Structure 1
Amino acid sequence: MNREPDFLENLRAELSGGRQWLDRAIVLGYAVAAGLFVVGFTIASDRAFALFRGLYGSHPWAVLLWTPAATAAIVWATRRWAPAASGSGIPQVKAALHPALPHGLRSRFVSLRLTLAKIGLAVAGFGAGLSIGREGPAVQVAAGLLQHSRRWLSPGTTINRRSLILAGGAAGIAAAFNAPLAGVVFAIEELSGRIEAKASGLIITAIVLAGLVAVSVFGNFSYFGVIKVPRLGIDVLGPGLGVALVAGVAGGLFSKLMASSLTAAPERLNRWRQRWPVRFAAGLGLAVAVIGLASGGATFGSGSETVKELLAGQGDFTPLQTLLKFIATWLTAWCGVPGGIFAPSLTIGAGIGEGLSQLAGPALRPALIAMGMAGFLAAVTQAPLTAFIIVMEMVDGHSMVLSLMACAMGASLVARMITRPLYEVLADFMVSQAIGAPLPPRQEEPAESEDSPPVP
């Protein structure tokens, strides 16, 4: 029979565990460092893209030379020094947590070296004007940093590497979006599928500390401002269903296209990509530059400023620009450059909502834009809880909780009829490549006794 906890006995045990408190202090210090790294990455990315915008504003045609040349250089450097830094960063973290991956191979996907490489190469991608986001890379950046703390912990610590990677990934998404709730849900829904009780406190602590660092630098703000919507009634049902359906189909096709391009098919083009990766990247970089010119510059970068203007009732984002952003984001990812798809996906979703609002009327415009963002992101990731919470926190849209939730769930269900979850497909592919064999059926990861020797 279990007896009630003895407060004084437990307090003495806590105070007498000096090494345990030192381990905790080390992890907390790394969590603060993760926040600083994400903040520095954010500032550097913004400045790099501002330099590109300056080049585009003064010499628009120069991007036809600059973007493909920079893309080729980034891909060459990535393949030469940090192959695992390619792409979003979220599949790498999922691969590091995969039950089929031996513990000794986790550092292949998350490490301090990859953290530094990811920051530098992704910042260069913003400087090239590519259609990427920084939120996915922030997940790999923070996860790599947190797991590095394991090398300084005592041999008998209960803090294992899996928990540190989970905490780092959650802290990265929370600090990048200023969305702490999304960080918790992201760790459960996207990264792990489950969280042990002993890891939950570590995850929340990492989110709080990394988030406090971001807030102390940028202020406690909503990423896209505060959305202003009228009282939503039955009149939003039809347009909302339309947004969920269109976002679900578009997001499912985007996810399928991305998965096919980054794993196996189309076979002939991927053979070219494998044989001449730098030339292939230069060609796609040129295509991204041409698309950017054709769109009036709307497809360059993450598109966050465009979304802010749409939600504020300013500017526009036409269906053609939305389609071009879709293509530019796919081609950028196919290049193999380090960069995420979260922010571009939100931009594409905002464009879908904006387009359908032209039929529904201006009163519903902000609401449909937010629903489009949640719907397309949920369709691409097939993580509806994460998608609607991220959008809700980014636009301070607590009055739209039910609408965002319904749209995200509907779009995700539609996408599931088209393709498997994108990050799961990419993570499985990475793990199979790492172990050199097809993956066995997914199973629960056994309890981790102790890691292999840490690798920086």
Structure 2
Amino acid sequence: MKLNHHVGRAVKKEFGDWQLWWSRAVVVGAASVAGLTVVAFSWLSDHAVNLFFQLYERFWWAPLIWTPLCAAAILAVTLRYVPGAGGSGIPQVMAALDPAVDPGRRGLFVSLRLSAAKIGLTGAGMLAGLSLGREGPCVQIAAGVMLAARRFLPKRTSVTAHGLLVAGGAAGIAAAFNTPLAGVMFAIEELSRNPEERNSGLLMAAIVLSGVIAVSIGGNATYFGIIHAGQIGLALLLPGLMVALGSGLAGGLFSRLLIASLGDQTRDAPSRLRHAHPVLFAALCGLAVAGLGILTSGAIFGSGYVNTRDMLAGTESTPAVYVLFKFVATWLTAWSGVPAGIFAPALAIGAALGNDISQLTAYPHAPELIALGMVGFLAAATQAPLTAFIIVMEMVDGHAMVLSLMACALVAASIARLLSAPLYPTLAKLQLQRLGSVDAHVPATSPQAAPTDNRSSSP
């Protein structure tokens, strides 16, 4: 009798509260829309890159004019109308999650308006041939979609704006890489600081749903193809250790360089030029990227996923300078201030590093070292080893490399911590400085600045 009474109460509590089910419906619906938005954005990005390469193949010199003009135009629009859309997008989501940010001012960092702007401006960056990825922007885009659903939730709900931001940001990663598990890990490792949100089945389900939608529409193929690993043995130990150390050092240096470039605006002449004439500086960065692209026969243009996929398939033979040139091109693109992610370029840099070491050591199974390079550099650059590990693990055919990938990610991230502060939390602190910049533009007798105030530029 007691058992029946307990079951009855549980059923009544579960199905008798319409606000609970309405909250679930809103979250699931928003996650579906976020997944579809990321899929549409991915389609737009791919077509933009293809159009750029059609231009480049017809007129090899065109990027010397087209790329700097586009970079300047993109940054001018960003600074004038949507400064919160600049950069990767992950620091903005982390800034919006900061407890010090008033709920009414989250719109400075994440909103539906910024999501729409991010789609258009990042797509324009792809069309320009800049060295950028779409994964970081997907985090801000999906977070903006999820946060907009807050207005449809009932008053009595356990779903918070903070939880929607975490779920949205992670859903962006899940949908961008067709890896729902990577989205969940990204939420735990990078975004969520609240144990309740980590354990929220509803929010985790929203993340997975976005990834499943991307898989359903785009197919179950991984973004970079399948890694066919050979028999793992002691022969991998020395070259694998070289890749782990090399990718850790390179990724840590990359992170440190980005933080130094985007932070101090008066340290050196280029930084002072960037601070005084940001649009001109973006044009110069675009010109440098175009020059590097022409020197490498177009290899460094775009996100680099085609080169990475071809290296894994054994059909791409990149020169040794590709690592350096892709590294510099990605840094310059980020330094210019245009909306740009680094996940895909980081994977391309790591893949080329692993490929170079396989040639240097004459290791017969290059895909194994390429995979280690990918996970090592991404883990070191972002200091998110578990997310990097899962993203690359999803590409491996079988489980032979699981332990090797995990060890490489942890070693590389540990080395990077010795060289650099965490990239995204540091850039999030720079984003928070915009709150003071907005307040400085508001007269003492005026009400608090609106969350969509666009008069200050983001780093």
TM-score range (shorter-chain normalised) is over 0.9
| Count of matched residue positions in the alignment of Structure 1 and Structure 2 | 439
- Structure 2 gaps, min length 5: 439-449, 454-459
The residue aligned with 2:429 is 428
Distance 2:119 2:307 in 1: 24
- 2:381 maps to what in 1? 380
Equivalent AA in structure 2 for residue 42 of structure 1: S
Q: Cα–Cα, structure 1 residues 358 and 173, in superposed 2: closer, same or farther, change >3 Å?
A: same
Is contact 1:188-1:194 (8 Å) kept? no
Is the deviation greater in 124-133 or in 103-112?
A: 103-112
- Aligned pairs for 1:12-411 within 5 A: 12-196=12-196, 200-264=200-264, 266-396=267-397, 398-411=399-412
Give the Cα separation in 1 of the matches to 2:89 and 2:198: 25
1:150–1:454 Cα contact (<8 Å) kept: no
How far, CA to CA, are the matches of 1:153 and 1:242 in structure 2? 52
Structure 1 pair 397–249 and aligned structure 2 pair: CA distance change class (3 A): farther
Q: CA deviation at 1:197?
A: 5.2
Q: Are the equivalent residues in 1 in contact too, given 2:334–2:340 (CA < 8 A)?
A: yes
Q: Contact 2:24–2:202 at 8 Å: present in 1 too?
A: no
Change (3 A) 1:118 1:278: same
- Amino acid corresponding to residue 123 of structure 1 in structure 2: G
The amino acid of 2:142's aligned partner reads A
SS at match of 1:221: coil
Query: Matched residue of 1:229: which SS?
Result: coil
Q: Deviations over 1:1-23 (max 9, x none)?
A: xx999222121122221122122
Q: Does 1:8 align with 2:8?
A: yes
Instruction: State the AA in 2 paired with 1:38.
Output: V
Deviations 1:110-156 (A, max 9, x none): 11001100000000000000000001100110011101111111122
**Partner amino acid for 2:56?**
Y
Greater alpha carbon shift after TM alignment, 133-142 vs 5-14:
5-14
Per-residue deviation at 1:435?
Answer: 4.2
1:199 Cα deviation (Å)?
5.5
Shift of 1:362: 4.4
Instruction: Report if aligned partners of 1:140, 1:169 keep a CA contact under 8 Å in 2.
Output: yes
Percentage of identical aligned residues: 53
Contact 2:188 2:198 in 1 (8 A): no
**Letter matched to residue 88 of structure 1:** S
> How far apart are residue 268 of structure 1 and its match?
2.9
**How big is the alpha-carbon RMSD for the aligned residues of Structure 1 and Structure 2?**
2.0
Q: Which amino acid aligns with 1:384?
A: P
CA contact under 8 A between 1:167 and 1:202: conserved in structure 2? no
Q: State the distance in 2 between where 1:128 and 1:351 align.
A: 23
Amino acid corresponding to residue 227 of structure 1 in structure 2:
I
In 2: Cα distance, 1:400 partner to 1:340 partner: 27
Q: What TM-score, normalized to structure 2?
A: 0.92
1:92·1:109 contact (CA, 8 Å) conserved in 2?
yes
Output one character per residue of 1:221-265: Cα deviation in whole Å (capped at 9) or x when no partner.
222222112111111111111001111111111111100111115
- What TM-score, normalized to structure 1? 0.92
Whole-Å separation in 2 of the counterparts to 1:348 and 1:193: 30
- Kindly tell me: are residues 5 and 68 of structure 1, through their superposed partners in 2, closer, same or farther at Cα, counting changes over 3 Å? farther
TM-fit CA distance, 1:45:
0.3
Quote the offset at 1:454 in angstroms: 9.9
How big is each residue's C-alpha offset from its partner over 1:265-310, in whole Å with a ceiling of 9 and x where there is no partner?
5443222112111111111110110010001101000000111111
CA distance in 2, matches of 1:420, 1:455: 30
